Structure 1
Amino acid sequence: MVFKPALVVVDVQEDFCPPHGALAVTGGRDIVPIINEFLSFPFALKVATKDFHPQDHISFASNHPAPNNKPFESKATVANPYNPDERQEMQLWPDHCVQGTKGAEFLLELDVGKVDHIVEKGQDKRVEMYSAFADPFRNPRVAQSNLAEKLRDAGITDVFVVGLSADYCVKFTAIDSAKEGFRTWVVGDATRAVDPSSSSMDAVYAEYAELGISVVGRDAAQVEKVKSLA
């Protein structure tokens, strides 16, 4: 069977990492050495994603009226701008990864020089876009990247996902990867979660199981298979 793997490095940006990130994920910086190790492996395509929001993005609590505008606590129901009958409940966050700010930059220690393609997501102020592929609306889509097309054009069969955060952007990127028809692997050692509790992550893994997404370690047989391509 053909095996042509790609690596997708999700949102390893200043605002998602201690010590100063606006939406810092505990241990977010700690996974960079593992990610850099993966960037040295012979993946056929290496992609990095970044949240790249306008200041008036709908996911920012600051853009919603009080009292229901508390970051991490409040939620908002948002309608598809092209189909008001399709609605999504959305978590509200502190302002983060705003275009042109330090918080939107990749970590200096990330080996970005080995990345072939960068996806800037979350640029449409009207919709959340956790996934590197598209926003969550389906009927119709509102914002899409060219990632699925890029992977298909490169003949990719398998997608390995690493980065931040395990329970949001990594999760939705992996789910969309599987739905796009790629065998999908999440490298658990190379992710960290906003909510790392077992109840939160068990729910993520249950979604993965339904779609055939595998969570593997850095030394898994499938990773060794990538390394053997050198």
Structure 2
Amino acid sequence: MQWAFIFIVGLTVVTGQQECKNAVFNACVLPEPYTAVNENDIAACAAICSVYAATGSCSMYSFEANDGIGENCKIYDMQTSIPDFQAACNEVGLPVHDECIFYDDECTVTNLCPTCTACGTGTCGGYMQMDCEFQGLIMERHPGIPFDTCQLLCRIERATYIHYYRESNDCYCMASDKRACKKQVVQYGTDINTCSDASKVSSANEEWIEDPSSGVPPPKKIA
């Protein structure tokens, strides 16, 4: 099916918490950690980041459940902004909303996005899940389309979740947000109690249990 759109461009700055939750960023390049320690949970890792943030040495931290083995809490003194960091990630996963979601401090209103939410600095966009396996059924695949068009089509198709590849512009409309993620990455200052979804995070030793095939070829795993 061919789609034709007329763009009306405007600029809006909208931030939200519920709209910015439940996001996945895969195939990202994390900087070298400033330091790394072993912690039992993400709350303890957040507390470690707060200590280093007092001296300007923690802007972001990552936590990976590993049954108490290894340095699973990493502290990053990252100079790049969170929106710029997220923009360099190849894979994005997010729920389908009535408005378009952009992981930036500003978003642009068009015919495709009559309302939009900017999940930038100071929002739940600062909480990210990484190293995720998407396990929901694929309702439809739309190759070679922009991110905002992907959100529109998945909304029209009443999908629940979006899996998008930035390099190839491939859009997957998913029937559910079912996934298992190994890593949580958080901007310093983000409220993990408000923004995190621990039910989607697995330990490093768990195996993925995938849904039956929908008949649509799944996206390729990117190392």
TM-score, length basis structure 2: 0.29
Quick check: which one's strand share is greater?
A: 2
TM-score normalised by the chain length of structure 1:
0.28
